[in-house]
Amino acid sequence: MKNIVVVGSQWGDEGKGKIVDWLSSEADVVVRFQGGHNAGHTLVIDGITYKLRLLPSGIVRKNKISIIGNGVVIDPWAFIDEVNEIKSKGISVDENNLIISESATLILPFHIEMDEIREDAAGNSKIGTTRRGIGPAYEDKVGRRSIRVIDLISEENLDKRLDNVLIHHNAIRRGLGKKVFEKENLKKELLKIAPKILRFSQPVWKKIEEFKKENKKILFEGAQGILLDVDHGTYPFVTSSNTVASSAATGSGCGLNSINYVLGITKAYTTRVGEGPFPTELKDEIGNHLGEKGHEFGTVTSRKRRCGWFDGVLVRQTIKISGIHGIALTKLDVLDELDEINLCVAYELNGKKIDYFPASVEDQLNVKPVYKKFEGWKSKTQGIKRFDDLPEKAKIYVKAIEEFIETKISSISTSPERKDTILIQDPFNP
Which CA distances in Å does 118 have to 283, 301, 302? 28, 18, 21
CA distance 266 to 13: 9
| CA distance linking residue 190 with residue 267, whole number of Å | 40
Among 54, 172, 55, residue whose Cα is nearest residue 117 = 172
End-to-end CA distance of the chain: 11
- Are the C-beta atoms of 242 and 34 separated by less than 8 Å? yes
Going by C-beta distance under 8 Å and a sequence separation of 6 or more, which residues neighbour residue 109?
A: 133, 181, 186
Report the distance separating Cα 408 and Cα 326, nearest Å: 5
Q: Which of 37, 41, 169, 325 is catalytic?
A: 41
Q: Mind giving me the DSSP string for 278-347? A: -TTB--SHHHHHHHHHTT-B-TTT-PBPEEE-EEHHHHHHHHHHHT--EEEEE-GGGGTT-SEEEEEEEE
Closest CA to 130 of 300, 305, 306: 300
Let me know if 111 is a catalytic residue.
Answer: no
Q: What is the dihedral of CA 84, 86, 91, 97, to 10 degrees?
A: -80
Q: Are strands 421-423 and 408-413 parallel, antiparallel or unpaired?
A: antiparallel
Q: Which of 64, 65, 59 is nearest to 86 (CA)?
A: 59
Antiparallel, parallel or unpaired: β 41-45 and 98-101? unpaired
Q: Which H or E run includes 401?
A: helix 392-405
- Which amino acid makes up residue 417? E
Are 295 and 282 in contact by the 8 Å Cβ rule? The answer is: no
Going by C-alpha positions, the residue among 302, 314, 371, 308 that lies closest to residue 343 is 371
Compute the distance between CA of residue 166 and CA of residue 161 in angstroms, rounded to an integer. 9
**Residue 81 designated active-site:** no
Q: Show which residues are catalytic.
A: 13, 41
